[in-house]
Amino acid sequence: MMNKSIRISMLHAALRHDDVLHNIALLEALCLKSLSLEPDLVVMPELAISGYEFFKEIGSEWIKEVVPKAIDKFSRLARENNVALILGSPRYSEKSNQYYNAAIFIDEHGEIAGEHYKINVLPGSEGWASPGNDIKPIAWNGHKIGLLICSDAYTVNISEELAKQGADVLISSAAWAPGFHGPNGEWEQRSRETGLCLFVCNRTGKEKNMVFNGGSSVVAAAGRRIVNYSHKQPAVLSIDVKSSNWYPLSTQFNVLEIYESMGQT
């Protein structure tokens, strides 16, 4: 893989905060739909399994039973289709007896290559989650992948530490709604400070109190937003990048629009 381009597909999806099984079925359908584009890596938004505002609607006890089964499902999908996945999901740790907002990297063999637990956890809306404290790139096919989750990109310390440890690229799952508290140059700043390309898989749709319509999925490099998608319509966004430095080979995503209720174009 080091001598060829890498194709990344990002699921710019509309998720529900009150129906986990719907989200799992939708994400599976979108992953399978993305396979027509032959991606090497498929990235999902933050908390794709649960939706962002899930806690007040369905609590957290379900996470212990449902999430491991979901991971098994997507691990099997990855293995059977030779594609790596980054799964955004709540995660329960028996070791710490705590819940986390997680990005789970499943390689093309169906194995968990690594996980990142969100560090910049937001008080209130993410009060169910404990902050992670481990910053470490994930090894994948000769590359070092630095994972972020949404507001982890708000401060420089996390991306800077990943860069110091030799990360080749930064990839962020996000649920960052536009508006007054929307992104305001943070992704561009992190790319400039670290010298790394930053890929952001954001989302669309509405939940109980939050509207993600107009949220941007982007590729930032050298302090600039190189590629951007901010339409309301859910879509699979694909782009080829240089394997040497993960720089995009185009200034536009290949956009495969999706009817989110069916997972079909």
Alpha-helical regions (H) of 61-165: 62-81, 156-164
* pLDDT for the residue numbered 95: 94
Tell me if 15 sits within 8 A of 23, measured CB to CB: yes
Domain boundaries, the chain: 6-257
User: What CATH number is given for 6-257 in this structure?
Assistant: 3.60.110.10
In sequence order, what are the residues at sequence separation of 6 or more whose Cβ sits closer than 8 angstroms to the Cβ of residue 74?
27, 28, 31, 85, 87, 106
Q: Alpha carbon of 66 to those of 42, 46, 71: distances in Å?
A: 21, 17, 9
- When pLDDT is averaged across residues 47-74 and rounded to a whole number, the result is 97
Q: Please compute the mean of the pLDDT values over residues 236-241 and round it to a whole number.
A: 98
pLDDT of residue 14: 97
Identity of the amino acid at 193: E
**Average model confidence (pLDDT) across the chain:** 95
pLDDT on residue 180: 76
pLDDT of 263: 39
| Angstrom distance (rounded) from CA 88 to CA 15 | 11
The conformation of residue 204, written as its DSSP 8-state character, comes to B
Q: What is the pTM of this model?
A: 0.95
Q: In terms of Cα–Cα distance, which of 105, 65, 69, 63 is closest to 85?
A: 105
Of the candidates 185, 156, 184, the residue with the CA atom closest to the CA atom of residue 170: 156
Residue 264 has pLDDT above 50, yes or no: no
Which stretches does DSSP call E strand in 151-264? Answer: 169-173, 198-201, 217-221, 224-229, 235-241, 254-257
Let me know the angle formed at the C-alpha of 242 by 220 and 82, rounded to the nearest 5 degrees. Answer: 105
pLDDT at residue 2 is higher than 60: no
User: Which amino acid, residue 217?
Assistant: S
d(CA 210, CA 226): 27
- Those residues whose C-beta lies under 8 Å from the C-beta of residue 69, and which sit 6 or more positions away, are none
Q: How far apart are CA 154 and CA 132, in angstroms?
A: 15
pLDDT of residue 3: 53
- Per-residue pLDDT band at 182 (split at 50, 70, 90): confident
Collapse the DSSP code of 9 into the 3-class scheme (helix H, G, I; strand E, B; otherwise coil) and give the result: strand
The phi-psi region of residue 47 (left if phi > 0; otherwise alpha if psi is between -120 and 50; otherwise beta) is left
- Distance from C-alpha of 71 to C-alpha of 89, rounded to nearest angstrom: 9
Question: Distance of CA 9 to CAs 21, 42, 54, 217, Å?
Answer: 22, 5, 25, 11
What pLDDT, on a 0 to 100 scale, did the predictor assign at position 1? 41
pLDDT confidence of residue 258: 85
- How large is the C-alpha radius of gyration of the chain? 16
Confidence of residue 4 (pLDDT cuts 50, 70, 90): confident
Write the pLDDT tens digit of every residue in 194-237. Answer: 999 999 999 999 999 999 999 999 999 999 999 999 999 999 99
d(CA 203, CA 230): 9
Going by C-alpha positions, the residue among 158, 206, 161 that lies closest to residue 17 is 206
Q: Does pLDDT of 114 surpass 90?
A: yes
